[in-house]
Structure 1
Amino acid sequence: MTTKMEFAVDMTCQNCVKKVEESLGKLKGIQGVDVSLERGTVVVQTHLPYSEVQETIEKSGKRAVLKGYGDGSVSAVSMVGGTSGFGINKAIQGVVRFVQTPNVCIIDGTVDGLSPGAHGIHVHECGDISAGCDTVGEHFNPYNAAHGGPDDDITRRHVGDLGNIVADNSGRARFRLQDKVLSVDDIIGRSLVITQDFDDLGKGDSSKSKVDGNSGRRLACGIIARSSGVFENTKKICACDGKTLWDERDDALQKVHGNKL
């Protein structure tokens, strides 16, 4: 399942356009690219994670910021950990995006600062992170089912059961999931949680298996909020602090690098 994503790219001339096009042309998994110097945007049709596409654009030497995700679809985003969400370790932070398609919900994210290996990922019922991840409630479970995995039938899983993400040796988990049960309309205002251990998908021997997959402590979480689709975000300067989107991008990168020191 492919998705459209729109990036603001810091381009000043046709040579910039050429460099971006050449960089994306080397990336397998791109179905379409539309580079507009006039708008300062790059629209990509792909099944790849957005972070991989953004990194490829920036390899051309041009700064890039994701502006819109999903073409004419309901989209949402969760800023997990960091300064926007909550995490027991400041190094754990990431962005997870949701977009609704006619058949599935696509979950596309990158989370840094995790221990290598598998970690459970779940939508929880509440969007209250006033006391961290302890106040987000239990897994989103409107049908009162036992805990299961994303491949299970709706009667054998929580709607919020998204399975596992896997962090590499650097602590980064980059993923793109498709879920047949989750609906973006139903999760806006709720929260997303990453756990310490892997989720056994309700198939373990522990009594906790049918509750939360025995996936352990809640490491990081963030509220799920409505986000912009392609061509829906026209912001160039923040009305709150007067920062340009490039200032915001550079500030965010500085915080990430600072947390790793």
Structure 2
Amino acid sequence: MTRAFMAATTLALGTALAAQPALADHHETMEKSVSADILDANGRNVGMVTLVQTPNGVLISATASGMPEGEHGFHIHETGRCDAGQGFSTAGGHYAPRGAGHGFKEAGGPHAGDMPNQFVGSDGTLRAHVVNDRITLESGFSSLMDADGSALVIHAGADDYMSQPSGDAGNRLACAVLAAPK
């Protein structure tokens, strides 16, 4: 019995050691991520947004229901406050730590928080997957985790990608606090 146990142990140890190089080549990474509820103009939860730091920027995935059909401005705003009673004006302007102008069509743009318009179909559901390489969840200059936080805002209309200061995208339909003020 002892000899069988030793043989089994030696076999298991040999297998583990043989796998060691494969384990050494496997790199585990701790993803930094943030998730937040999306609130509508009545303060009701209508969806969820998740941001994941990647080597190439922040991947933003959002789903929201009960939205009007059509094209909608989709931006990161400068302050982590979403007060529905104030029309989400508490989220401030677009996140622009470098002072850039608004819009992809603007020579001095875009803001760090500018992102492509998103679309809502006839079912009233917005589904978004966007990578923004001008922001980070890590510490540093373009961090959304700064002292006053940040918010995601979905606008009533489409961003025209050039009107200053915010693309003429209309009222703020929905908001999610990505990082609350510290």
State the alpha-carbon separation in 2 of the partners of residues 158 and 217 from structure 1: 19
C-alpha deviation, 1:222, in angstroms: 1.7
Query: C-alpha deviations, 1:170-218, integer Å up to 9, x for none?
Result: 110112111221212311331111100011111xxxxxx1211110001
**Equivalent pair of 2:37/2:45 in contact (CA under 8 Å):** no
State the alpha-carbon separation in 1 of the partners of residues 80 and 56 from structure 2: 26
> Is the aligned partner of 1:104 residue 2:37?
no
Structure 2 gaps of 5+ residues are 1-28
> Is the aligned partner of 1:213 residue 2:162?
no
**Equivalent pair of 1:91/1:113 in contact (CA under 8 Å):** no
User: Which of 135, 146, 151 is matched with 2:90 structurally?
Assistant: 135
**Structure 1 consecutive aligned stretches of length 4 or more whose deviation exceeds 4 Å:** 89-92
**Equivalent pair of 2:100/2:109 in contact (CA under 8 Å):** yes
**Equivalent pair of 1:139/1:212 in contact (CA under 8 Å):** yes
Structure 1 gaps of 5+ residues are 1-70, 82-86, 203-208, 227-261
State the alpha-carbon separation in 2 of the partners of residues 160 and 127 from structure 1: 13
State the identity %.
33
> Is the aligned partner of 1:222 residue 2:180?
no
User: Which of 33, 37, 59 is matched with 1:79 structurally?
Assistant: 37
Q: Which structure would you say has the larger RCO, counting Cα contacts within 8 Å and 6 or more residues apart? A: 2
TM-score when scaled to structure 1? 0.50
State the alpha-carbon separation in 1 of the partners of residues 82 and 128 from structure 2: 24
* Residue 158 of structure 2: aligned partner: 198
Root mean square deviation of aligned Cα? 2.3
TM-score when scaled to structure 2? 0.71
Specify the structure having the higher radius of gyration (Cα).
2
State the alpha-carbon separation in 1 of the partners of residues 106 and 63 from structure 2: 24
**Equivalent pair of 1:195/1:217 in contact (CA under 8 Å):** yes
State the alpha-carbon separation in 1 of the partners of residues 87 and 150 from structure 2: 13
Aligned pairs, number: 143
User: Equivalent residue of 2:165, what SS?
Assistant: helix
Matched AA of 1:171: G
Matched AA of 2:110: R
